[in-house]
Amino acid sequence: MQKPLIRVSAGIIRNEFKQIYLTQRLEGQDFAQSLEFPGGKVGEHELPEEALKRELEEEVGIHVLSAYPYEHFSFEYPNKIIEFYFYLVEEWVGEPFGREGQEGFWVTQSELDAGQFPPANGMLIQRLRSEC
Ligand SMILES: Nc1nc2c([nH]c(=O)n2[C@H]2C[C@H](O)[C@@H](COP(=O)(O)OP(=O)(O)OP(=O)(O)O)O2)c(=O)[nH]1
Ligand SMILES: [Mg+2]
């Protein structure tokens, strides 16, 4: 059987202190306990940027004012292929929090640790660390 292809949009929410807001995936989700950039699946009739804005409202309660495409790549997991759209978000309204009960915290960009994220995030974390 062919692996399903899903599209995922996620936000690199960065404040003026070069800290990035991360959340921890919940028990029962795939990659439970991993850190993640908040985001989720792009709906069938949705643009990636629309999905980003919707997901950040739903998951961390912020209203995104502007978002810039940062990385776009596909990653093959054993059971699915994910096409990722990562956006840099530096302008928003509200204070992010784990709106679905998940933990959330600010981490300094240079201290991001790829080992705490799902495997797909490796290259992205490397790039973020190198750009500090
Ligand atoms: N949001 C997010 N997902 C990631 C990252 N890295 C990574 O491998 N993923 C994977 C985990 C999931 O398999 C998929 C994201 O889907 P999701 O479970 O967040 O989807 P969703 O928010 O729409 O949730 P649901 O309604 O389907 O439960 O992408 C990341 O940095 N952020
Ligand atoms: Mg999600």
Q: What is the DSSP string of 31-71?
A: TTT-EE-SEEEPPTT--HHHHHHHHHHHHH--EEEEEEEEE
Q: How confident is the model at residue 95 (pLDDT cuts 50, 70, 90)?
A: very high
Q: How confident is the model at residue 37 (pLDDT cuts 50, 70, 90)?
A: very high
Is 77 a pocket residue for ligand 1 (Cβ < 6 Å)? no
Tell me the pLDDT tens digit for each residue of 48-72: 999 999 999 999 999 999 999 999 9
For ligand 1, atom 18, the nearest C-alpha belongs to 40
The burial of 31, by beta-carbon neighbours within 10 Å (0-12 exposed, 13-18 middle, 19 or more buried), is given as: middle
Is 106 a pocket residue for ligand 1 (Cβ < 6 Å)? no
Ligand 2: centre distance to CA 129 (Å): 23
Sorted by where each starts, the structural domains of the chain and their CATH numbers stand as 5-130 (3.90.79.10)
Q: Which pLDDT value is given to residue 128?
A: 98
Write down the residue that tokens 């500090």 correspond to: 132
Is 80 a pocket residue for ligand 1 (Cβ < 6 Å)? no
